[in-house]
Structure 1
Amino acid sequence: MGLPADQLSPGETVILEMHEHWKHLLGAILICLAALVGLAVVLAIGPDDGFFAWLDTLGWVAFAGVVLVFGVWPALAWWNRSYTLTSERLATRTGILRRSGRDIPLNRINDVAFDQGILDRIVGCGTLRVSAASEEGTVVLKDIPQVHQVSLRMNELVRQIGDR
């Protein structure tokens, strides 16, 4: 779900297409697992008949709601948030129902930096900060897989553009 071919200019090639690391979904996964445990408890202790028999149905409805809001929606948002590095620009695209994007020409990039916390180092991702000569300033790309290689490749492309 990166940059479509019809949005590339003539001669422009895609170098890297990235999504945030799956680590970004850990909170959503844990919430869904907690909802599953809650559903199991409700189904185990809820009576099969009598006045409180509706608790089973309520448990299923609550579980479905939690999974949709805290599981499916964040997963769709993660899937639809992409970063594309081309031979001419860095393109960011976000949104499910309403799409938005930002393109930074490589010749406008001043600085490329990265940060990594302890968990980031363990799973191999990090935050990439791209400073551009524009009103918007710095673009922060969180949880980028292999942030060292992405930073190095972006610096190489910026240097090549500057040498032209």
Structure 2
Amino acid sequence: MQEEKDIWFGTPSQVVNLGTFIIMGIFFWLIFPLFIILWRWAQIKNTKYELTTERLRTRHGVLNKKTDELELYRVRDYKMDQPFFLRLFSLGNIILETSDRSHPQIVLKAIPNTEQLRETIRKQVEACRTRKRVREIDVE
């Protein structure tokens, strides 16, 4: 059996918090907005994505940490979403439709080089399916 290797590692961009930072920055003289800014910053800072040859791991949580793993052979479809605001910063979202019952949809938010990563995921999914001899069958 082949050893699992790391392919890509990333985190969402803090750009997704820009609106919150601006609005809360207006009220910087209040203590409460400062806590909101720090909390939103910490949430994004503590979100990590890791793609290996076998699975996609998502780690998140500030006080309580949670790790979700998706076996790559379960990915059914790939979508790339680039809203105007994220395109201004050369970022995008990758949406994975899966056959996993606990996580039917995985969203990698505010990622740079979105097209390149989507293609890398696609190639790794196909390679993983070939290694494990798994076929996806659509039944309607």
**Shared fold per TM-score greater than 0.5:** yes
Gaps of 5+ in 1: 1-9, 40-61
Do structure 1's residue 26 and structure 2's residue 18 form an aligned pair? Answer: yes
Deviation at 1:101, TM superposition (A): 2.1
Instruction: Work out the CA distance in 2 between the residues paired with 1:127 and 1:104.
Output: 17
Deviation at 1:32, TM superposition (A): 4.1
TM-score, normalising length from structure 2?
A: 0.82
Do structure 1's residue 157 and structure 2's residue 124 form an aligned pair? Answer: yes
Instruction: Work out the CA distance in 2 between the residues paired with 1:82 and 1:128.
Output: 14
Pick from 113, 123, 134: which aligns with 1:146?
A: 113
Are 2:79 and 2:96, in contact at CA under 8 Å, matched by a contact in 1?
Answer: yes
Pick from 80, 86, 95: which aligns with 2:52?
A: 86
Instruction: Work out the CA distance in 2 between the residues paired with 1:97 and 1:90.
Output: 22
Deviation at 1:81, TM superposition (A): 0.9
Deviation at 1:141, TM superposition (A): 2.2
- Paired residue secondary structure (1:139): strand
Match of 2:96 in 1: 130
Tell me which protein shows more helix as a share of its residues.
1
Q: Deviations over 1:15-73 (max 9, x none)?
A: 1111112211202321343124xx4xxxxxxxxxxxxxxxxxxxxxx2x3321x22111
Are 1:90 and 1:104, in contact at CA under 8 Å, matched by a contact in 2?
Answer: yes
Match of 1:52 in 2: none
Instruction: Work out the CA distance in 1 between the residues paired with 2:89 and 2:16.
Output: 11
Are 1:23 and 1:143, in contact at CA under 8 Å, matched by a contact in 2?
Answer: yes
Are 1:84 and 1:92, in contact at CA under 8 Å, matched by a contact in 2?
Answer: yes
1:129 partner amino acid? I
Deviation at 1:88, TM superposition (A): 0.8
Match of 1:121 in 2: 87
RMSD: 1.7
Are 1:31 and 1:70, in contact at CA under 8 Å, matched by a contact in 2?
Answer: no
Tell me which protein shows more strand as a share of its residues.
2
Number of aligned residue pairs: give it: 129
Are 2:13 and 2:44, in contact at CA under 8 Å, matched by a contact in 1?
Answer: no
1:73 partner amino acid? W
Q: Which has the larger radius of gyration?
A: 1
Gaps of 5+ in 2: 132-140
Deviation at 1:153, TM superposition (A): 0.6
Q: Could you list the runs of 4 or more consecutive aligned residues of structure 1 that deviate by over 4 angstroms after TM superposition?
A: none
TM-score, normalising length from structure 1?
A: 0.71
